[in-house]
Each structure stands twice: as C-alpha cells, then as structure tokens.
Structure 1
Amino acid sequence: MTVNGYADGAGRAVFAAVDLGATSGRVITGRVGPGTLDLVEVHRFANTPVRLPDGLRWDVAGLYRGMLEGLRAAGQNGPVVSVGVDTWAVDYGLLDADGALLGLPFHYRDARTAGVAGRLPEGCGPAELYAVGGLQHLPFNTVFQLMAHRESAQWDTARTLLLMPDLLVHWLTGSVGAEVTNASTTGLFDARAGTWSDALIGRLGLERSLFPPLREPGAPAGRLLPHVAEATGLPASTPVTTVASHDTASAVAAVPATEEDFAFISCGTWSLAGLELDAPVLSEESRAADFTNERGVDGTVRYLRNIMGMWLLEECRRVWERSGAAPGLDGLLSRAAASRPFAAVIDPDDPSFLAPGDMPSRIGAFLRRTGQQPVSDPGAVVRCVLESLALAHRRTVRAAAALAGRAPTRIHLVGGGSRNALLCQWTADASGLPVTAGPAEATALGNVLLQARARGLVGDLPALRRLIAATQPLRHYTPRGNPRDWDRMEARLTAERPGAVAAGADAEGNGEGDGRGV
C-alpha cells in the first residue's frame, strides 16, 4: 500500500497522532493497512500547568516544544503520511492582529469564572444558553471563560480566538480554523444548525470576527511551515489533517461497537458517559438533568455528562506518594479489592473535588458533612472512589437512556480507565449491563483512523469501529452480585446529599488515565 508515496516495509501507511491530555502529552504513530492497525508511542512529555500571579495557566510553549520533539521522533520511526492534533476542550488562546499569542492560555480549573454565569446579559440565562448550545452547565465552559477574560486589559487587542488544538495546528501550518467537535463545547455553537451562533455571540457582546471558520474532521488543515519542517525533520509537504480534535470525540469514534444501541464511557481524568445520537436533546428535562450535547464525527451528537473521573484517584495518589503512606497503584487496587464493600459513598461531582489539592482530606470532609463515617486506609478510600464512580456511571447512563428514549444493551468503557479492572467490573455490577473495556488508547486510535479515512484507507464510522474491534485487545465484564446493594448505595447518597444526584434519580423512575476528557 502506498499513500502519497509513503508506506512502511509491510505496506502500511504511517500517521502521527499528537494527543495532549491534562497531565501529559504524547506523539503516537499509527500504522494502518488492510485489516491491520498498530500504535507505537514515540514520545511522551509532561503537561505541567503554571500558577502565575493572575491565575492558573497552561505552559503551551512547553507543549509545543514537546510536540515538535515527538514529531521528529515520529519521522525517525518511518515516513509520515500526515499529522493530526487532539487535546482537551473549552480552553483557548487569543491572538492579536499580527497573529501573536496574548499570554499563556488559562487553565479550565482556574477560579476566575466563579460567579460569571450570574452576570451574563439579559436573554443569556441558563435556559437560553441551553436552547442554543445544549451544554451541561459547568463553570469552565468557554462562554464563561470569555466573559471573565473580556474584563482584562488585553481583551481589546484580541482579534482571533483559537481553541487549544486549533492553536497548535495554527503554529504547525499558519492556517486558522475551528474544528467542530471542539467548537461544540464552547457554549457558542448552535447544536441544531452545527454552526457558530451569531445571535448568541451578539447578545453576549462578543465580536463575531473572533471566531474562525469551522472545519469538519477529515478536512485538510494545511502543510507544515518551513521552520516546523526544519525542527521536526519532516518534509514541508507533510499535510496536517483535521481530526476530531476534542479528545473525547476521537475516543468515542474509536468505540469498538458492533451493536447500534450502546452507551459509552470515555474514562480518564474525567468520565464522559452517555450515548451517541443522531440529533441533540434540548428539552427542559435534559437541561435540568445537566446533560450536554457535543458534536461527534459525521454529524453525530455525543449526549453525555461530565463526571469527575480518575482525577479523584490520581490526586489521592499524589498526596500519598508525597507522604510515603501508600504503595503503588497495583498495591492500592489490591487493598481496595480486599476492603469492605459499600463502606462509604461520595458524589464525584461535588465542587470541593474540582481543584487540585489534598483529595483524601476532602473526601473525608465530604463523608463527615454527609453523616458518614470517614475511611482513612488508602485501600478503603480507593474503594470508596471507584464504587462511587461506578455508581455515577450507572446513574448517568440510565438518565441519558431515559431522556433520549434509548435502551442501551452494552456499555463500552474506553480510555485509561479501561485498564482498571475493579472500576470496569463494578460499573457492570452497578449498571446491570455488560461492559466491554478498551481500547485504552481510544483517543489516539480515533485520531489516526480519521487521518487514514481522509486518505481513503478506512470506510465509514461503522467500518472504522469494526477495524478497532478486530485488531485491539478488549476485555468483557458480566454483571454479578446483588443489584440491590447499588440501589441502597444510591439511596444513601440521595438522602445524605439532597439534590446532588437528583438529575440521575429523577431520570431513572455521564481518555487515558492522564487526562481524557474535558
């Protein structure tokens, strides 16, 4: 097989996927041939935010440097047909009239958006925003970040807004655009029309010219600039292909589903749980349940909720590792498996868990606040976290099914969380549905295969998924145990924290471990 004159020794085309998560970035090469699909991680680098006097920021220059180093490594691993970039959502950079970046992009966990939603202009309340964008109300949605940002002195010099993957593509190619799966997370995208909402942008007092033309996955984004080619060792003719640049969109594209009615959980720093639909659900019931409608590949809608995911476990591990109080991950999971089941339950989406910090202490404070006996042994804390996540997965999938009028027959759990056998089994037990776990590298696989599809090597979305199901290692979990134990756990949480989980309860009667998701 030859694509643009490039193929490896086995006749497979080689694609480079730049995949940036909340705590690390990777460059992965994917080799695609008839019935074959292989990934090789060629470079990994840290994604370490920096706290400046004005807030928490992303070190985007460091990410760009790591990306260039990774592309150089990719080129040394074989001729590269094209490059694709995916990252998390909602965050952005502002460019001035000369195309210069106006400061490091803010981190979505920065506190500057606190209270912004209550200060929006008339006609831009929660119901009006949902009627247009259909997004879960989260304090870090781009629309709220922008309204906070416009109060800064640099706002008047801003001429172009680029979401994080679009900013990196711009630095690679010089081109300007907005990929739709990421644009749909901003709160300024019309979920029905699939375009920027000029009316809402106007009501908010934002300049329409800030928002660049939209691009669909598979569209060409340009070719490497000469200095980029020199830095990476790749030919200047190397194309950059638009992929589903929101990492969750790429991950969901790589769900190895062979059935039509499936639920998905893209589990990493966040758990994104929901359904793939043909049209958005913009009802008042959906808004009250806090579900989001994000654009997927081929015009699909990712109908889901953001759940605080493996972030809880990773923050606990950071605290324990600093104090030397716990073994490694395998040891923690063994101790969790041996701990008493259903000893304590938390709401993973409690606001106290959002910011970085001493997560074990915050979990203890939540348990005391809700009248529960705190657990202190690290194994017991891990069991509490994983059981609570499994319960949140159940609650979200059931609510999505009720609101969308669907009846999923299986849950596909992809991303780094799919490596956690306890979480996968307990998700099956809690939901009563079989769980297929994997692929762990769903985001990179979606990135690579959307590049390959743009060059005619892969067919439609079902064909893409069949290739993944046939080539990637998957594990299957069957529900076991007494489902009433999970019912009692849900009832305890609802009683102890009124309103916190009401959306899921009412509806019954939603990347790799380093940060898939927002």
Structure 2
Amino acid sequence: MSNKTYLAVDLGASSGRVLGGRFDGTKLELEEVHRFENGPVAFAGHLHWDLLKLWQNIKDGLTAAGTKFGRDISSIGVDTWGVDFALLGRNDELLGNPYHYRDPRTNGIFERAFAKVSREAIFAETGLQFMEINTLYQLIAMREANSSILDAAQRFLMMPDMFHWLLTGEKGNELTNATTTQLFNPVTKEWSQKLIDGFDLPGHIFGDIVDPGTVVGPLRETVLEQIGLSGTKVVRPGTHDTASAVVAVPAKSSPGQMPNWCYISSGTWSLMGVETPHPIINKQCAEFNYTNEGGVYGTTRLLKNIAGLWLVQECRRIWKQGGHEYGYSDLVRMSQEATPLASFVNPDHPDFAAPQDMPAQLRDFCKRTGQIVPEADGAVIRCVLESLAMRYRVVHRKLQDLTGTQIDTIHIVGGGTQNQLLCQMAADACNCQVVAGPVEATAIGNLMLQAVASGDIGSLAEGREVIRNSFPVVTYEPKNPTMWDDAFPRFEKTCSV
C-alpha cells in the first residue's frame, strides 16, 4: 500500500501537541510537528482552561502538518484528559471558558452530594471511582451556585467532543470520555437518568453516546480555508487520553480476553489498570474505589487513578521560582544519590492535590508522620518516586484480586517511561517484569484507531503488532524486591494517615 498519513491532536494537562503518523503497511513512523504549553488560567477566584488559545494552537499545528506532509492527509483525531467539559447555549454560543478540574469549587462536595443520592447508589449506577474532580460533582457545584451558565446550556460537550465539533460542526459525546463523568452507566452504555434526575441536572444537554473509531465527518469549510487541508476526515479515537494510551500497549492478547498484564499510563497522572472484557462492579471494587471506564471495541478499563508525576512537576516549578531550574534528568540523578526507602508519602493525599508549595508540603507530611524529613531536593524526589512505586504495588495486588488473574507483566507507557529509575523501582516494588514503552503512547493509540477505522489495519490486535514492530521498548526485571518487601509496612502505615 502507499503511505498513509494520519494526524493526532493530543492534549494533556500541561502540554499539547500535533503529531503525524506515516503508515507504510508494516510500520508506523511518528513525527511531532507542533507542541505548545497548556495549563490552568486563574480568573476571578477560579481556574479555567484557555479554550480559545488551545483551538488556535490546534489550527496552527494542523497548518504546519499540511505544510510538512502535504494536503492529502487521511484523517485527524483529538484526544484529551477526562472529566472537563464545555457548555454551548442557543445558536451554539460558547458559555464561558471551561473550568479546570483542580478548581476549588468541588472541595468538600461529597457530603452534600451523598445526602441526595447515596454513595452506594452512585457506584452501583456508574462503577466509577469517587473523586471530587469528576464531572458529576462539577455540575452539582454549578447547580448549587445557581449557575446562569448551566441554566442557559443547550449542549454538553467533553473537551475532545468540543474540538471535534469545532473541526466539523458535528456534535456527539464519545464513549471513553463520557465514562469519566460519573454520569454514565457502563452496563446500559447510556447516560444515567437516575443520577441526572437525582441531582436536578438538565438532561436535555446530554447528547448521543458515540463509539470510538467512528467517523465524525469532513472538516468545516471555514476550517479548510484556515488550515489548507483537503479531503481530510475527522475520526474519533479513544478520546480519553488513557483510552488511546491503552490502545498503544504492545501486548499480544486480543480484546475480549482477560489479560495477564496490566498497564500504567504514566504522566501527570499514573492510570494503572487492566483491559477487561466487561465491567467489574461489585462490593470489592467499591471498597477499593476502583473505576470502570470505557475502552475501545467493547472493552472496559478497570483502573485506579494515582497522582503520578504531578508531584515532581510541581516540585520542579517551585524550585524554578527559587532560582534552581532542574531538568528532569537532573532530578533523577539527584534522587539516585539520596538514601533509598528513607521516607514515604501517600501520593493521593489531599495535601498534594493543589498545594502552594509542593516541596514544603511533602516535607511537612513526612514530619507529621514521624519520618525522616527529606531536606535535600534529591531526597524529596526520591521520596516521591518510591512512594509512587509503592502505590503501584498496592494497585497491582488489588487488580489481581478484582480480576482473579495473575498479572505477570506491567506495561508502562507514556512520558513516564523516560524515567528509568521509576521504571526499575516499579519492577522491584511489584516484584514483576516491567515493559516500558512506547513514550508517545497516547498519540500512537490515537493514530492506530484512525488507521483501523480507515480500514488500513484490520483489528486492534493487528494494530498492536504494528506498534511492537515500530517502537522500541525497555524491559526491567526485579533486582532488589526484598528490601521493598521490608519497607512496605512503613508505607502502609503512612498511607493510613
């Protein structure tokens, strides 16, 4: 076959990029054509996403891709983080910039929410883990505040749905991102009318659920004029970035099987889970506070959100403000020089959700829990990385309990694969093989689903074979699991705080 080119618009919580994928029938080659920063904008006491700037950067990236690859690009697909959304009013007017999931308006909202619909009923309806950032609680906060925006809303679009609408004029709520809202029933695969009614939310704003791997439509004429492409269609990938990242896991099992591997999509968040053939919604899953999110081709992503490299990113930001601009390789080198397994934090403790000074908060946590306080910057990073590895150990064990299968391999994909120290720590802490790569998993999964939707690849299993042939991976075997076994009770005690 002649070379085909697909474009992935991959938006993360801290950066965005537009990448091209060239497929020759055997291998996929990836090339980044545009990268830009992303992050919250503080405005009038709230945190928002700068939607207009993101849209302009997407158009700039698509224009650059047209210049790079030529006008004949097969398709475009957009993936983003989950839970956040935009609202459109009459005549499709944008009703304000979308809120950022770290906005404080949902702090402490569980008690008020559960007074209306019980925690047990919400979990039975959605199978989703409880986090205050979930879309459900954002909408409840708007209803509590008598939001004029919510009153005026005519359509609810998750962030990737919004960009697909801007590209094509077609509206739809793609399944994998809809499942992050805690308003979606994974059994019926529809919005939960029980929760919409129970929390007095405007049900008319929620549109049809659309499967990943479907064609949205051609580009709007106005967009074509601005970016200079022709004959290009838009295809929905797994629009939740973790769904796309899981597509890129270079495993050999096919969807529909219960695999002997799990994944960690490692970046700002660490999303750790198993690709299961069906949701697992039971008392044990509720007790563990694990989540059932939609995957591609009928699969379910049974997973746990872990705070991830957010803690490292925030430490780096604070130290930069203080005049110490460390590169990530510097932080790894410094942490390697620190004493191993000296102190731990619970990465998911509320203290670390959005602190003003992350290093100070980490040190204070260690002091409060009677541990060695990591004074040196390298010791702080080592504490974070080892704590993440210990969290992986906990989740690894509970995933085995929930699925009833032995998980022999952990596939780590995403930017966190470049942190070789963390990958080795994960192998040691979990006492199992770790396979790291590919790095750009989200974009690769996005592109791969476009190729399958276009008929250029026959199935997800074939796509994963292409990924194995196209991108290198690094395998880590456990080296010192015993010392991690010995330290684990201290970590458990820390996490009980």
Smaller-chain TM-score bracket: over 0.9
Please tell me whether the aligned partners of residues 275 and 401 of structure 1 are also in contact (alpha carbons under 8 angstroms): no
Report 1:233-382 matches (<5 A): 233-235=228-230, 237-259=231-253, 260-325=259-324, 327-382=326-381
1:423-470: CA deviations, max 9, x gaps?
000100110110000001000001101111111111222111111111
What SS does the aligned partner of 1:38 have? Answer: strand
What SS does the aligned partner of 1:298 have? Answer: coil
In structure 2, what is the Cα distance between the partners aligned to 1:52 and 1:320?
Answer: 24
Residue 227 of structure 1: how far off its partner (Å): 1.2
1:171-213: CA deviations, max 9, x gaps?
1111110000000011111111222122322222222211111
What SS does the aligned partner of 1:77 have? Answer: helix
- 2:158 is aligned to 163
- 2:185 is aligned to 190
2:446 corresponds to 1:451: no
Residue 97 of structure 1: how far off its partner (Å): 1.7
- Structure 2 counterpart of 1:81, from 74, 83, 89: 74
Identity of aligned residues (%): 44
2:429 corresponds to 1:434: no
In structure 2, what is the Cα distance between the partners aligned to 1:375 and 1:325?
Answer: 17
Please tell me whether the aligned partners of residues 132 and 190 of structure 1 are also in contact (alpha carbons under 8 angstroms): yes
Runs of 4 or more consecutive aligned structure 1 residues displaced over 3 Å after TM superposition: none
In structure 1, what is the Cα distance between the partners aligned to 2:241 and 2:223?
Answer: 23
What SS does the aligned partner of 2:117 have? Answer: coil
2:120 corresponds to 1:127: yes
Please tell me whether the aligned partners of residues 33 and 457 of structure 1 are also in contact (alpha carbons under 8 angstroms): no
Describe the shift of the 1:250–1:497 C-alpha distance in structure 2 as closer, same or farther (beyond 3 A): closer
Residue 154 of structure 1: how far off its partner (Å): 2.0
Describe the shift of the 1:380–1:191 C-alpha distance in structure 2 as closer, same or farther (beyond 3 A): same
In structure 2, what is the Cα distance between the partners aligned to 1:205 and 1:326?
Answer: 48
In structure 1, what is the Cα distance between the partners aligned to 2:224 and 2:436?
Answer: 38
- Structure 2 counterpart of 1:172, from 139, 146, 167: 167
Residue 51 of structure 1: how far off its partner (Å): 0.6
Residue 489 of structure 1: how far off its partner (Å): 2.6
1:327-350: CA deviations, max 9, x gaps?
422222112112111011111001
In structure 1, what is the Cα distance between the partners aligned to 2:309 and 2:192?
Answer: 33
Residue 352 of structure 1: how far off its partner (Å): 0.8
- 1:213 is aligned to 208
2:136 corresponds to 1:143: yes
2:377 corresponds to 1:386: no
Please tell me whether the aligned partners of residues 345 and 489 of structure 1 are also in contact (alpha carbons under 8 angstroms): no
In structure 2, what is the Cα distance between the partners aligned to 1:261 and 1:23?
Answer: 32
- Structure 1 counterpart of 2:102, from 73, 89, 109: 109
In structure 1, what is the Cα distance between the partners aligned to 2:134 and 2:460?
Answer: 28
In structure 2, what is the Cα distance between the partners aligned to 1:62 and 1:129?
Answer: 36
Q: Output the amino acid matched with 2:4.
A: A
Q: Output the amino acid matched with 1:57.
A: H
In structure 2, what is the Cα distance between the partners aligned to 1:327 and 1:50?
Answer: 24
Q: Output the amino acid matched with 1:316.
A: C
Residue 496 of structure 1: how far off its partner (Å): 3.7
Please tell me whether the aligned partners of residues 121 and 203 of structure 1 are also in contact (alpha carbons under 8 angstroms): no
In structure 1, what is the Cα distance between the partners aligned to 2:396 and 2:273?
Answer: 6
Question: Mind listing any 5+ residue stretches in structure 1 that lack a counterpart?
Answer: 2-10, 501-518
- 2:256 is aligned to none
RMSD (Å) for aligned C-alpha atoms: 1.3
Describe the shift of the 1:121–1:159 C-alpha distance in structure 2 as closer, same or farther (beyond 3 A): farther
Question: Mind listing any 5+ residue stretches in structure 2 that lack a counterpart?
Answer: 254-258
Residue 33 of structure 1: how far off its partner (Å): 2.0
Residue 490 of structure 1: how far off its partner (Å): 2.3
- 1:96 is aligned to 89
Please tell me whether the aligned partners of residues 355 and 361 of structure 2 are also in contact (alpha carbons under 8 angstroms): no
In structure 1, what is the Cα distance between the partners aligned to 2:222 and 2:356?
Answer: 40
Residue 487 of structure 1: how far off its partner (Å): 2.6
In structure 2, what is the Cα distance between the partners aligned to 1:250 and 1:420?
Answer: 21
In structure 2, what is the Cα distance between the partners aligned to 1:302 and 1:117?
Answer: 24
Q: How many residues get paired?
A: 488
TM (norm. structure 2) is 0.96
- Structure 1 counterpart of 2:55, from 53, 64, 67: 64
1:462-508: CA deviations, max 9, x gaps?
11111111110110000111x2322333211222442x5xxxxxxxx
Please tell me whether the aligned partners of residues 390 and 491 of structure 2 are also in contact (alpha carbons under 8 angstroms): no
Please tell me whether the aligned partners of residues 326 and 332 of structure 1 are also in contact (alpha carbons under 8 angstroms): no
Describe the shift of the 1:70–1:350 C-alpha distance in structure 2 as closer, same or farther (beyond 3 A): same
Residue 122 of structure 1: how far off its partner (Å): 5.6
Q: Output the amino acid matched with 2:444.
A: L
What SS does the aligned partner of 1:93 have? Answer: strand
In structure 2, what is the Cα distance between the partners aligned to 1:496 and 1:249?
Answer: 31
- 1:203 is aligned to 198
What SS does the aligned partner of 2:10 have? Answer: strand
- Structure 2 counterpart of 1:225, from 220, 226, 235: 220
2:487 corresponds to 1:485: no
2:29 corresponds to 1:38: yes
In structure 1, what is the Cα distance between the partners aligned to 2:148 and 2:203?
Answer: 19
2:464 corresponds to 1:465: yes
In structure 2, what is the Cα distance between the partners aligned to 1:335 and 1:88?
Answer: 31
Please tell me whether the aligned partners of residues 371 and 496 of structure 1 are also in contact (alpha carbons under 8 angstroms): no
Q: Output the amino acid matched with 2:490.
A: R
